[in-house]
Structure 1
Amino acid sequence: MQQLLCAIREQLPVGAPEADLCQKICIGCPKKLMSYLEQEVNDWQRALDDGETPKLGDIRQLARAARKIHAVIEKNGLLMPQRSPVSRTLE
């Protein structure tokens, strides 16, 4: 889970200013999707810091959400086209 959280932080615009995410015309809403993903990442980081052990389903769910959000962010031109960070982390 820690590797997944690091990959998300490194390869997606976590913490990016709202103005950078909102392009007015977009596919999906990168601003809302990144807000959701940031909250999930922060919640899991707190849980890990508190000693909680994630289940495989928890990791899979976060990885799936990150892959989908990565695709939307990429379609909106906010990332260079590349392979999803989550798929590399889970291989």
Structure 2
Amino acid sequence: MSSKPNLTDATLELITQVKVELPLYSEDTFVCGPDNSCIGCPKKLLELVESEVSYWESAVSRGIIPNFEELRRFGKLCKSVKRGLVRNGIVN
């Protein structure tokens, strides 16, 4: 039976998973649609996630460890953004 990861490892694993599953640095996701057919702005959603990812990468590298609530909120934000991107057809 494997042990649970500590908060630092869990944060880094979540960041890695977000970078794999969400198109954070893809150019075509940062363009607004000309026909305004978006449901929620994918550009703004991805910018929000990108800023959180950058913050937590920097915080962990400086030795600042998130608590359970911060990690839960970060995960919930990423899950909600992914749901919005699926609605817009950007992510499957």
TM-score with structure 2 setting the length: 0.80
Corresponding position of 1:61: 73
Extract unaligned runs of 5+ from structure 2. 1-10
> 1:21-40 residue pairs with structure 2 within 5 A?
21=30, 22-23=32-33, 24-40=36-52
Query: What's the C-alpha RMSD, in Å, of the aligned pairs?
Result: 1.1
Q: 8 Å contact 2:29–2:42 — kept in the other structure?
A: no
Displacement of 1:15 in angstroms is 1.3
Structure number with bigger Rg? 2
Which residue in 1 is equivalent to 2:15?
Answer: 5
| Aligned structure 1 segments of 4 or more residues deviating by more than 4 angstroms | none
**1:17-57: CA deviations, max 9, x gaps?**
2x434333100000001001100000000000111111000
Q: Offset of 1:16 from its aligned partner?
A: 1.8
- 1:20 matched to 2:34: no
| Residue of structure 2 equivalent to 1:77 | 89
The letter of the residue matching 1:42 is: S
- In the alignment of these two chains, the number of paired residues is 79
* Unaligned 5+ runs, structure 1: 81-91
Which residue of structure 2 lines up, in the alignment, with residue 85 of structure 1?
Answer: none
Between the aligned residues of both structures, percent identity stands at 28
Does the Cα contact within 8 Å between 2:22 and 2:82 map onto a contact in 1? yes
Letter paired with 1:26: C
Q: Secondary structure at the match of 1:26?
A: coil
- TM-score between both structures, scaled by the size of structure 1: 0.81
Residue aligned with 2:65, SS: coil
